[in-house]
Amino acid sequence: DVVMTQTPVSLPVSLGGQASISCRSSQSLVHSNGNTYLHWYLQKPGQSPQLLIYRVSNRFSGVPDRFSGSGSGTDFTLKISRVEPEDLGDYYCLQSTHFPWTFGGGTKLELK
Amino acid sequence: QVTLKESGPGILQPSQTLSLTCTFSGFSLSTYGMGVGWIRQPSGKGLEWLANIWWDDDKYYNPSLKNRLTISKDTSNNQAFLKITNVDTADTATYYCARDLGDWGQGVMVTVSS
């Protein structure tokens, strides 16, 4: 199975500040079709996960441009600029290039 | 508008079979490329992908559950199903269904307890 390693586990931030979360995979996430199936989710307390970024850098419908994704191969980053209160929660990366699909362990974004 | 809603038994005993239903609207599982999957999350822990089914009835499972999973669909009634056989306390979790990993249901809590 592809192991997804997310860092940090906890990320204290100030409102209005910037946050960066790393996700590294144990093997390349480039599919044989050339696409890279790495996605980012936010799970707010008591809610279902919501898709933020799909295929590395594409914002899902309704996601503000404060969220951006980048990376390639095995190394990916989610950046959040101008952090707002509604951005707090648990962030997860997911790879759906290789079966079984696997999630990172999560990063808790919390107030400093 | 896409919506998904999971339903299940709430509580069941070890060794029983867990049957979950995902009832959705706003899309059809007969549409080319469409897929619905199941993901679970024990309380306070991370996410685990379980299985996916596609419009053409192709299916993939997480082998960590050792052949205990069966995913199926009823296209005419806009439903997808997941069965987990021989449950134990480690299967206690909130179970989510999701369309193409993008739209998720609210989740259903399942407790396995004697």
Is the distance from CB of A52 to CB of A46 less than 8 angstroms?
no
At residue B80, the pLDDT reads: 98
Residue B46 to residue A97: CA distance in whole angstroms: 19
Averaged confidence pLDDT in chain B: 97
**CB burial of residue A13 (10 Å; 0-12, 13-18, 19+):** middle
DSSP 8-state code for residue A47: S
By C-alpha distance, the chain B residue nearest A93 is B47
**Three-state DSSP class for B16?**
coil
* 8 Å CB contact of A51 and B102: yes
Rounded to an integer, the average pLDDT of B65-70 is 92
Is the distance from CB of A80 to CB of A66 less than 8 angstroms?
yes
- pLDDT higher than 90, residue B66: no
**CB burial of residue B26 (10 Å; 0-12, 13-18, 19+):** exposed
Question: Binning pLDDT at 50, 70 and 90, where does residue B26 land?
Answer: very high
At residue A75, the pLDDT reads: 98
By C-alpha distance, the chain B residue nearest A53 is B102
Residue B13 to residue A102: CA distance in whole angstroms: 28
For a pLDDT cut of 70, what percent of chain B falls above it? Answer: 100
* 8 Å CB contact of B104 and A92: no
The pLDDT tens digits for A13-25 are: 999 999 999 999 9
- Establish, for the pair of chains A and B, how many residue pairs have beta carbons separated by less than 8 Å: 45
- pLDDT higher than 90, residue B76: yes
Rounded to an integer, the average pLDDT of B8-17 is 97
- pLDDT higher than 90, residue B109: yes
Averaged confidence pLDDT in chain A: 97
* 8 Å CB contact of B101 and A102: no
The pLDDT tens digits for A29-61 are: 999 999 999 999 999 999 999 999 999 999 999
CA angle A80, A24, A32 (to 5 degrees): 110
